[in-house]
Structure formats: structure tokens, C-alpha cells
Structure 1
């Protein structure tokens, strides 16, 4: 079973492409014979991790892909690392705005994704979809959920997971003067990430670092 999550709209947006893409990717994977389910999570510190934990308990997945919106980015971003800090530039959907607070008190400073991130990047690139390995998931609810996921999976042997950021949709991009990517391309990328993770035990050894 593959569990995908996407966020509800936030920051004044009417839609969130992370949820639209996660839902479509689950449909596509299921049609391919790879059981998958998508769950929408709230853009709220704390509650988002609770909903994720409930979904993991309900569905018992082998792979978990959490997806979030990163408006302004040009590419699908496969995140490498989640850090143990909440530092919100804007309030979440419940009005919470933590500053320099840990996601998990006494937790480690960071967790790495357990997806084969570089093999996944290569698989998405072969589709002609712009993609990168990202070195930061920010300090908002996306990173909060990513860290919460990886902390949760410490107690779930054999379950692999990670986080993927998607750009604005084309309509959002046009409205903001920013890059946009079709939901269908986002979903195809998520399918490629899921399929690659399911079939890869050792990641590809190629460079995907950054100078800044």
C-alpha cells in the first residue's frame, strides 16, 4: 500500500495542487495495480501530523509520500532533509504561528528522507518533468509534517517515506506571476517517485548537491 498526502488550501489560495496531484497519483497507481490511497491533511501545526498518524495506522502503508505546495519553485522538489524547528512566517489555517519551536521536543536535529531521492529524481526527469533534489523543506507546515512523518516511521520498521514539494498550478502561477506546472505532470512525477521507491533498495550514486 502506498499512502499519499496533500494539503488543504492555505495562504488565501482557493486550491492546493499538492492535494490535487496526490489524489490523481493515487488513482493512477491503483489503476496500474499498485494499491494506493490519498488523504488530505490540514495546513495546521500539530493537527497535520495527527491526521497523518491516523492514516498510517488505518492503511498500514509500505511507502508514504507527503506532498506540499512550494509556490515560486519551478520544479518538482524531492526533499532530502526535515529539520526539527517550526518558524512560521505566516499563521497556519488555525491561526497558529510558532517561532523557533521544535516539532518534537527532545527529537533529533534532523531526519533524512528514506526515499531513494536521486533515483526518483532521475525517474521524474525521464518523463520530461522539471525536477530537483531540494536541500530544504522550509520551516512551515510542510517541514513540520515531513519531520513528523520521519519521526513516526522510526517506529514502523520497513516503511519508507519522504516529502515532495510541487510548484503552483498554471492558474496560480499566472495569478502570482510565478512558474506553474500542470496537475497531470505533478501526478505523473509522484507516480514515478512511488514506483521507483517500490523497486529500488539502493539509491543511485550521482551528484544532486547545491552550492547555496
Structure 2
């Protein structure tokens, strides 16, 4: 039996960017240990037609835990996603020029899945390092949500595996986002994400902090 490992994915650049901080973070953490787990980083294509298959290939190697990362340029904090929805509705084309609208991620599957990560413990851990972090109730409807949903659907019969998604902000030297987000340096994102992964590896129940939303 191979040693337990944590699959950490990021995405290739998209929408004209030359880098994607989600992949920069994943590859920077490749090989690090968190508890009994060693991180293995994988880069996913920002392409609706091929990203699920690349994720599936990585899942076939049976990771002990999975954390997927993606860029949300309008965010100002590390955003731990709580729910993946069975919807693809692309506001912009992917890297193949594909722009599906109003389609399910998986036909006939449940409308949504909840994250299987200790989401509140992760947010708290990052905040304790001084890095802005938050819970999020929407992973969007682009390739990030597609991968988040695909991940949880693929693992639906393996409930012991922690799995979920974290959105990261843009970097200071990247073009501005389309919302109120503020850039966050890569070193800060790395520090906060390391704390989050340590919280996942620690196991145990999630924190009972107030963390809902009014809008």
C-alpha cells in the first residue's frame, strides 16, 4: 500500500492571464507533508470537455484527501466553498472557446453536494495567521464549480475522504477583477492555505462558529 497523500489541484491560466495563482500555490506546496499526508499537485485544464477526465485520472490513484483550488478574481480573501451545484452556465468561454449555458454538470445527478472539508476550521486557521479568509456559498457556474461538483459526485460512495474546493484571489501584478476583490500576494495566500491544509489533516469535527450569510 502506498503512503497516504493529499491531492491538491490548481488550474492553468485562462481569460488571457499568463498565470493562475491556484496552480502557483498547488505546485509550491507539492511534496509538503501535513500530518500523515504528502501533497501531490496536479494542474487541471480550464476546459469543460477535459477537466473532469484529468481530475478522474488523479482520483484513480486513490488520494486520502482532495482540495481543489481555483481563481476568483473578484474575491478579496481565501474563500472556502460550502456547496457545489449541478449547473454549468459560463459567462465567458473556456480555453477551448466553449461556452455552455444552462446545462447540468452530471445529468440526472443531485442538484448539489456539500463540501466534505472542515470549512469553518479552515477559515479560522487561515485567519489566525493574519490572512483574510471566508466561507462562500457560491463557487460560481464556470469550470471551478464543474470540478467541485465532479469531485464530490465521484466520491459520493467514499464518504471517509475529505474533499472540497477553495477559491483564491488574484495576485497584485494581475489585471483587476470584475468585482470588489482586492489582490493578495502569493506568499500570504501560501501561508493561509498551509494553515487550511493543516486543519484538514488534523481531522476531527468542524468548528461551530457562526458563519452563515444574510444575502
TM-score (norm 2): 0.92
Aligned to 1:2: 6
Match of 2:202 among 199, 205, 208: 199
Match of 1:95 among 76, 80, 97: 97
Task: Map 1:161-176 onto structure 2 (within 5 A).
Answer: 161-172=163-174, 175-176=175-176
Distance 1:106 1:33, change over 3 A: closer
RMSD across aligned C-alpha pairs, in angstroms? 1.6
Distance 1:19 1:185, change over 3 A: same
Question: 1:143-189: per-residue Cα shift (whole Å, max 9, x none)?
Answer: 000000000111334211000000001101xx327511111222222
- Give ranges in structure 1 of 5+ residues lacking alignment: none
Aligned to 1:120: 122
* Range with bigger deviation, 198-207 or 107-116: 198-207
Contact 1:88–1:97 (8 Å) recurs in 2: yes
Aligned to 1:189: 192
Q: Distance in 2 between matches of 1:71 and 1:111?
A: 24
Q: Distance in 2 between matches of 1:78 and 1:147?
A: 14
Say whether residues 1:154 and 2:128 are aligned partners. no
Paired residues, number:
208
Q: Distance in 2 between matches of 1:157 and 1:166?
A: 26
* Range with bigger deviation, 79-88 or 154-163: 154-163
Contact 2:37–2:201 (8 Å) recurs in 1: no
Contact 1:25–1:188 (8 Å) recurs in 2: no
Structure ranking higher in helix proportion: 1
TM-score (norm 1): 0.93
- Give ranges in structure 2 of 5+ residues lacking alignment: none
Contact 2:35–2:198 (8 Å) recurs in 1: no
Q: Distance in 1 between matches of 2:191 and 2:50?
A: 28
